[in-house]
Amino acid sequence: MSYDTAGFTPMKLGYRNTRCHWGTHIACLYQTEKERDSLVSAFLSRGLKDDDFLLYCPAERGIESFRKSLIEGSPEFRLHIDEPDRIRIISAEEAYYPDGQFSQEEMDQTVHDMYERQYSEQHRNIRVATDMTWALEGIPGNEYLVSFEAELNLFIPNRNIVAICLYNLNEFSNEFIMKILKTHPYTMIRGILTRSSYYEPPTRYMNISEHQKHNYQQTTGI
């Protein structure tokens, strides 16, 4: 299935023959670990085949357990699983709160640095998938997560990145899921990729000044 997303270069997600475009930010809403792991494994396997850079941050499942399942599912992963310039499977703590708290400013810098290193220097497209269950653990600063998700919509479009943020419908409240639908242009539910009808301009949720919002609106017309 081909889906017209960001209008950038087309790519294959790897799951159920779904296609989208580079520059797409997706909220994947799942209910079971099997559903989540099946999608992530397919997404990463396709990326390995296409020589993309792969990053996955598990939360509900341990790193070693997931690494083992990848290796068992594909001999190619056995060859590349320990090559950090090709594949990184890291904890949510290392990715989002290495100092014990979530900092939107530091995450912004981390995302920019990753892009510069992997695409600008290594010339690789970037596939990112993250299990967002860590946000339920009461980490200091996690109240800025929605703002960070919104701000990604200023960075990801027109770049060779596809980011899938995985949210467990059994764990997050309906109120929070609605915020996620409003800060992700595209959603995937039961393997079906669609445009989010709830999506709103990122400045409505970004933790930035009114002056910055005005400049953004003047530039984009939003």
CA angle, residues 125, 38, 191, in degrees to nearest 5 = 80
Q: Which domain holds residue 39?
A: 10-220
Q: What is the pLDDT of residue 216?
A: 37
Q: What is the pLDDT of residue 213?
A: 43
Residue in 134, 139, 141, 143 with CA at minimum distance from that of residue 103? 141
Q: Determine, yes or no, domain membership for 3.
A: no
Q: Determine, yes or no, domain membership for 5.
A: no
State how many domains the chain has.
Answer: 1
Q: What is the pLDDT of residue 9?
A: 82
Q: What is the pLDDT of residue 201?
A: 85
Q: Determine, yes or no, domain membership for 2.
A: no
CATH of the domain at 130: 3.40.50.300
Q: Determine, yes or no, domain membership for 17.
A: yes
Q: What is the pLDDT of residue 189?
A: 94
Q: Determine, yes or no, domain membership for 178.
A: yes
Q: What is the pLDDT along the chain (222 residues), one digit of tens a residue?
A: 444 554 568 899 988 888 999 999 999 999 999 999 999 999 999 999 999 999 999 998 889 989 888 888 777 888 888 888 899 999 999 999 999 999 999 999 999 998 988 887 777 899 999 999 999 999 999 999 999 999 999 999 989 999 999 999 999 999 999 999 999 999 999 989 999 999 998 888 776 434 444 443 443 333
Q: What is the pLDDT of residue 49?
A: 92
Q: Determine, yes or no, domain membership for 213.
A: yes
**CA of 11: how far to CAs of 3, 23, 99, 191, in Å?**
10, 10, 35, 16
Q: What is the pLDDT of residue 81?
A: 86
Q: What is the pLDDT of residue 16?
A: 83
Q: Determine, yes or no, domain membership for 1.
A: no
Q: What is the pLDDT of residue 210?
A: 44
Q: What is the pLDDT of residue 170?
A: 96
- Strand bridging mode 24-30 / 186-189: parallel
Q: Determine, yes or no, domain membership for 66.
A: yes
